[in-house]
């Protein structure tokens, strides 16, 4: 048996969680769909920590909670693997690399008034991410779309997502559609099987910039923003630009750019903004506040997940949500592909990465290779063109 595999088997679960999610946090470029794909590749296919069906259940549950869905999926998996301590370790280790990078970029931004150029690196990384997401979708599809009804639910969810319907409405509608389809087939419905999920009320702050005000604003955002990190942009603009006048439009756009160019959760945009508002302490408070509700929601919601899955009606609802989650992931991947596959070289990178993934090559090496290609192209263009 190879030495690396023996070490992995004897490594304590918490230490293994920390190692794996730190690495994912450092390499998870590309937004929520890419994060989910990387977790599926690493934790379902490679390490076999959980089955594809269980992964989909946790993914579906994460999409029903406010906050960053990919981060909450990491937190769910940590809870599944090592209890409450695992919940904290997995979440913190997935979030920390991006938060530190965002804080470093914020310090450079404050000092120099601009962001460093990383377009070359992303040029090579994005096609690899497309390949990883496509492979994950291909592997999860048979489990999520396991009947004609669920395939129809997934198609309806994809159409709704393309038409701009709110993500939470898509997931809830898909769950209800799956239940109603099941009811029509069986003519029975147990209303007591449903559980209501209520989100906390919003906080507010109209005060000048204070540490307590920063914490309150970002705690509210973490508690009420559904969907991907991109939904966060509208809330940030409304609160920080229009209502509180803490940021200019340009500063907000630069903060959003940081969320795009760093790996890990897009919600670490909060780290950058917190640094602009109140330095390192503001960055730390904004980061803690925006992610804290996710940890609480997962800790409270995960024990209910097994009960829901055992209930025929609630289980059908969750099947519908899983089908919708996969459909929304497909739509996000198509949108990302339009921005990533811009020429023959990026298309070749994506196809090569997809072929390499089929041979079970670790995705981290593929991302590193894509980054090197992108940097080399940028240097070549700068030197000779």
Structure tokens at 260: 């795009």
Predicted pLDDT of residue 279: 94
Q: Provide mean pLDDT across the span 263-268.
A: 85
> Which contacts qualify for 241-245: CB closer than 8 Å, 24 or more apart?
243/206, 244/205, 244/206, 244/213, 244/217
Q: Is 184 exposed, middle or buried (0-12, 13-18, 19+ CB in 10 A)?
A: exposed
Q: Which residues contact 301 (CB under 8 A, 6 or more apart)?
A: 61, 65, 197
Main-chain dihedrals φ then ψ at residue 142, nearest 5 degrees: -60, -30
* pLDDT at position 200 over 50: no
Find out whether 25 and 97 touch, Cβ atoms under 8 Å: yes
* pLDDT at position 71 over 60: yes
* pLDDT at position 196 over 60: no
Crossing angle of the two packed helices 52-64 and 312-340, in degrees rounded to 10 = 80
* pLDDT at position 231 over 60: no
More confident residue, 253 or 216: 216
Q: Token pair 């540490």 is at which residue?
A: 211
Predicted pLDDT of residue 11: 60
Per-residue pLDDT band for 99 (boundaries 50, 70, 90) equals very high
Structure tokens at 60: 């579906």
Structure tokens at 58: 């946790």
Residue spans per domain, the chain: 10-198+294-384
Mean pLDDT value across the chain: 80
More confident residue, 343 or 303: 343
Instruction: Give the dihedral of Cα atoms 139, 144, 145, 149; nearest 10 deg.
Output: 180
* pLDDT at position 134 over 50: yes
- Range of weakest confidence among 78-92, 211-225, 273-287: 211-225
Per-residue pLDDT band for 213 (boundaries 50, 70, 90) equals very high
Q: Provide mean pLDDT across the span 82-94.
A: 95
Q: Token pair 């996710």 is at which residue?
A: 294
* pLDDT at position 370 over 70: yes
CA atoms of 138 and 140, how far apart (whole Å): 6
Instruction: Give the dihedral of Cα atoms 98, 244, 254, 226; nearest 10 deg.
Output: 50
Q: List helix spans (H) across the chain.
A: 3-10, 13-27, 32-39, 52-64, 69-112, 119-144, 148-162, 167-186, 211-224, 232-236, 249-261, 269-310, 312-340, 344-358, 363-384
Q: Provide mean pLDDT across the span 351-371.
A: 80
Q: Provide mean pLDDT across the span 48-77.
A: 88
* pLDDT at position 101 over 80: yes
More confident residue, 89 or 181: 89
Nearest 5 degrees, angle CA 139-CA 84-CA 309? Answer: 50
Nearest to 243 by CA among 262, 220, 223: 220
Per-residue pLDDT band for 136 (boundaries 50, 70, 90) equals confident
Q: Provide mean pLDDT across the span 155-183.
A: 82
* pLDDT at position 275 over 80: yes
* pLDDT at position 128 over 50: yes
- Range of weakest confidence among 20-29, 91-100, 119-128: 119-128
């Amino acid at each position: 048996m190879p030495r690396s595999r023996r070490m992995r088997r004897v490594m304590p679960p918490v230490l293994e969680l920390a190692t794996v999610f730190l690495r994912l946090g450092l390499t998870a470029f590309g937004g929520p769909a890419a994060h989910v794909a990387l977790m599926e590749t690493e934790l379902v296919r490679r390490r076999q920590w959980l089955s594809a069906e269980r992964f989909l259940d946790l993914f579906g549950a994460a999409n029903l909670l406010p906050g960053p869905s990919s981060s909450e999926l990491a937190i769910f998996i940590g809870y599944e693997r090592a209890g409450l301590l695992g919940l904290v370790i997995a979440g913190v280790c997935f979030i920390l690399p991006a938060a530190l990078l965002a804080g470093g970029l914020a310090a450079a931004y404050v000092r120099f008034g601009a962001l460093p150029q990383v377009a070359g690196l992303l040029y090579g990384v994005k096609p690899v991410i497309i390949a990883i997401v496509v492979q994950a979708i291909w592997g999860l599809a048979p489990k999520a779309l396991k009947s004609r009804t669920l395939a129809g639910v997934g198609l309806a969810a994809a159409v709704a997502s393309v038409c701009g319907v709110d993500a939470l409405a898509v997931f809830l509608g898909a769950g209800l559609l799956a239940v109603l389809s099941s009811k029509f087939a069986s003519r029975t419905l147990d209303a007591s099987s449903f559980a209501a999920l209520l989100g906390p009320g919003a906080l507010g702050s109209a005060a000048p910039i204070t540490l307590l005000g920063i914490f309150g604003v970002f705690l509210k955002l973490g508690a009420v923003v559904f969907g991907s990190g991109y939904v966060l942009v509208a809330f940030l603009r409304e609160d920080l630009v229009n209502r509180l006048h803490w940021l200019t439009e340009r500063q907000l756009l630069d903060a959003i750019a940081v969320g795009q160019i760093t790996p890990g959760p897009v919600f670490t945009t909060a780290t950058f903004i917190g640094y602009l508002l109140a330095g390192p302490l503001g960055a730390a408070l904004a980061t803690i506040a925006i992610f804290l509700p996710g940890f609480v929601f997962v800790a409270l919601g995960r024990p209910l997940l097994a009960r829901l899955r055992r209930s025929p009606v609630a289980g059908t609802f969750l099947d519908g949500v899983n089908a919708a989650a996969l459909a929304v992931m497909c739509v996000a991947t198509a949108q990302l592909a339009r921005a990533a596959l811009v020429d023959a070289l990026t298309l070749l990178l994506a196809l090569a990465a997809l072929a390499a993934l089929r041979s079970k090559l670790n995705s981290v090496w593929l991302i590193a290779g894509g980054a090197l290609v992108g940097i080399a192209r940028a240097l070549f263009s700068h030197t000779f063109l």
